[in-house]
């Protein structure tokens, strides 16, 4: 039997927004925490309920704005976005101490990180634009949020100028009481281009993700400014005449067309855009879109409840884990386990232990999480992968089935869990198992691994013709060396029959 390979989630730092103000009283376990929940966002806040509701409402409006500008965008993320909101800088320091450890370090207004179960945001809810109505103080968090949407919406690697230019443009979305401003000009970008110069359009669109200039903050800032300006021109210049062409570019890239060919087909030659781009930067007057707020999103309709000190500690532990603060994380674990919210801390502890190379101890932490009723989909999925071994017994497979069933119940968009559950049920004799693997491919169409699992299940059921079609579809996708080897082995099985 070919042993299946399943992926392990990784913690990755995503983004930081920077701003400085005065210190206030520090955050403590005794502070009141509340949860405000809308249809698409959960905010847990140590600030007042009104401020928390406003923040949730603004996030919903940004989501609606992205959907209005690009209807094809998949704004429902595969992992929930969890926001921890605090009311002042000192509370941010309690959540993110590393940014205050150096005298010259920056003071973040918001930080976004990714974990296997959530996208996590820590944000200061008290910040406003300080009199600058066209500046979003949390622009970098919105940049990261838009990047998550793009990654989920387009099953292809977008050229850096497009991915970062679009995210930069939407990062400065301004939410007001009655309208939402999309595409307001970013003066710092225009100033940077004016002072430091720019690449010509043919050069800009050829920059690759691994370009050395993008590895420095200065180089990345200059690149983002220029990419923003090009996207802004394509979106808004001449009354938005090129906006449909920009949409066409996304569609071509999503269908697998080479970036250079897609650009030429949708927008023409980059050389032909150079004169318009130069004129756009020099004219000094820039358009943007004003949308009405989504009136279906009502603050009074959001649910609200008090969060216990134990729950608040458990949530803080997730942020400490994701930002690589094991000492603070373990202190928060201990605090959470004094109350009734300790179950999910074992999932975070498992991640810490894996990072430290202690796999058996990590497995024990995930076992504890599952037994305690953790609501972490990753804890159940990861434990299932750790229980998998060569030639698993029927009892082992049934136990893994239970874990994966729980994982997809907790997160119905967990593609890896669906694929593995299909494999397990196939080995248990379930004739409907292929449907679960197909569901994984529907969630992540660009992932060849899910198709290989589907093909393997179909072969097991002697549905060779169907398996061959799935393999042919997988062959059109990017594969790792391990996946390519697995595809060859499956092909060989079909040819022998």
DSSP readout, 358-407? -HHHHHHHHHHHHHTT---HHHHHHHHHHH--SS--HHHHHHHHHHHHHH
**Residue 490 domain-assigned (yes or no):** yes
Choose one of 237, 253, 287: the last residue of a domain. Answer: 287
The DSSP code sequence of 4-16 is P-------EEEEE
Instruction: Give 290's DSSP letter.
Output: E
**Residue 230 domain-assigned (yes or no):** yes
Choose one of 268, 287, 306: the last residue of a domain. Answer: 287
For range 62-90, the mean pLDDT: 88
Helix (H) or strand (E) holding 407: helix 394-410
- CATH number for the domain that contains residue 462: 1.25.40.10
Query: pLDDT per residue over 90-139, tens digit each?
Result: 888 888 888 888 776 667 778 888 888 888 888 887 776 444 456 777 78
Report pLDDT for 2.
39
C-beta of residue 422 within 8 angstroms of C-beta of residue 435: yes
**Residue 425 domain-assigned (yes or no):** yes
For residue 487, the enclosing domain spans 388-497
Residue bearing the bigger pLDDT, 417 or 85: 417
**Residue 77 domain-assigned (yes or no):** no
Report pLDDT for 486.
94
Query: pLDDT per residue over 453-480, tens digit each?
Result: 999 999 999 999 999 999 999 998 889 9
Choose one of 235, 258, 287: the last residue of a domain. Answer: 287
**Residue 381 domain-assigned (yes or no):** no
**Residue 63 domain-assigned (yes or no):** no
**Residue 31 domain-assigned (yes or no):** no
Q: Into how many domains does the chain fold?
A: 2
For range 313-325, the mean pLDDT: 91
**CA 408 centroid distance within chain:** 18
In this predicted structure, which of 1-10, 189-198, 212-221 has the lowest mean pLDDT?
1-10
Beta-sheet pairing, 108-114 with 119-124 = antiparallel
Query: pLDDT per residue over 24-33, tens digit each?
Result: 334 444 468 9
pTM for this prediction: 0.79
For range 242-269, the mean pLDDT: 93
């Amino acid at each position: 039997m070919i042993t299946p390979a399943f992926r392990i989630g990784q913690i990755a730092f995503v983004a930081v927004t920077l701003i400085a103000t005065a210190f206030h009283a520090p955050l403590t376990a005794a502070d009141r925490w509340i949860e405000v929940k809308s249809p698409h966002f959960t905010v847990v806040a140590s600030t007042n309920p009104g401020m928390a509701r406003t923040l949730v409402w603004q996030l919903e409006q940004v989501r609606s704005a992205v959907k209005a500008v690009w209807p094809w965008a998949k704004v429902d993320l595969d992992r929930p976005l969890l926001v921890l909101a605090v009311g002042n800088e000192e509370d941010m320091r309690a959540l993110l101490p590393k940014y205050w450890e150096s005298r010259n370090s920056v003071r973040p207004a918001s930080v976004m990180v990714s974990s296997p179960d959530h996208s996590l945001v820590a944000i200061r809810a008290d910040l406003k634009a300080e009199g600058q109505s066209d500046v979003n103080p949390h622009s970098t968090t919105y940049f990261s949020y838009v990047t998550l949407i793009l990654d989920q919406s387009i099953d292809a690697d977008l050229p850096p100028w497009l991915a970062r230019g679009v995210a930069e443009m939407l990062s400065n979305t301004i939410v007001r009481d009655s309208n939402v401003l999309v595409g307001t000009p970013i003066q710092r970008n225009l100033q940077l281009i004016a002072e430091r110069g720019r690449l010509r359009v043919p050069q800009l669109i050829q920059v690759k993700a691994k370009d050395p200039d993008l590895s420095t903050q200065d180089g990345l800032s200059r690149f983002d400014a220029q990419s923003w300006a090009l996207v802004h021109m394509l979106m808004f210049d001449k009354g938005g005449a090129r906006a449909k062409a920009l949409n066409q570019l996304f569609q071509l890239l999503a269908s697998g067309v080479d970036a250079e060919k897609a650009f030429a087909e949708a927008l023409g030659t980059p050389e032909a855009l150079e004169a318009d781009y130069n004129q756009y930067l020099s004219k000094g007057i820039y358009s943007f879109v004003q949308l009405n707020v989504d009136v279906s999103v009502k603050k009074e309709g959001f649910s609200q409840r008090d969060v216990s000190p134990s729950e608040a500690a458990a949530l803080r532990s997730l942020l400490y884990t994701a930002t690589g603060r094991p000492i603070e994380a373990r202190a928060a674990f201990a605090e959470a386990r004094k109350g009734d919210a300790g179950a999910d801390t074992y999932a975070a502890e498992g991640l810490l232990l894996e990072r430290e190379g202690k796999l058996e101890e990590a497995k024990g932490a995930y076992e504890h999480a599952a037994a305690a009723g953790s609501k972490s989909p990753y804890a159940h999925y990861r434990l299932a992968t750790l229980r998998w071994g060569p030639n698993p017994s029927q009892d082992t497979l049934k136990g893994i089935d239970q874990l994966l069933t729980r994982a997809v119940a907790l997160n119905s968009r967990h593609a890896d869990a669906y694929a593995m559950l299909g494999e397990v049920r196939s080995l248990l004799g379930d004739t409907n198992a292929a449907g679960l693997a197909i569901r994984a491919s529907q969630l992540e169409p660009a992932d060849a691994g899910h198709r290989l699992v589907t093909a393997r299940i179909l072969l097991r059921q002697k549905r060779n013709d169907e398996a061959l079609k799935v393999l042919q579809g997988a062959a059109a996708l990017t594969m790792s060396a391990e996946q390519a080897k697995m595809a060859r082995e499956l092909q060989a099985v079909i040819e022998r029959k």
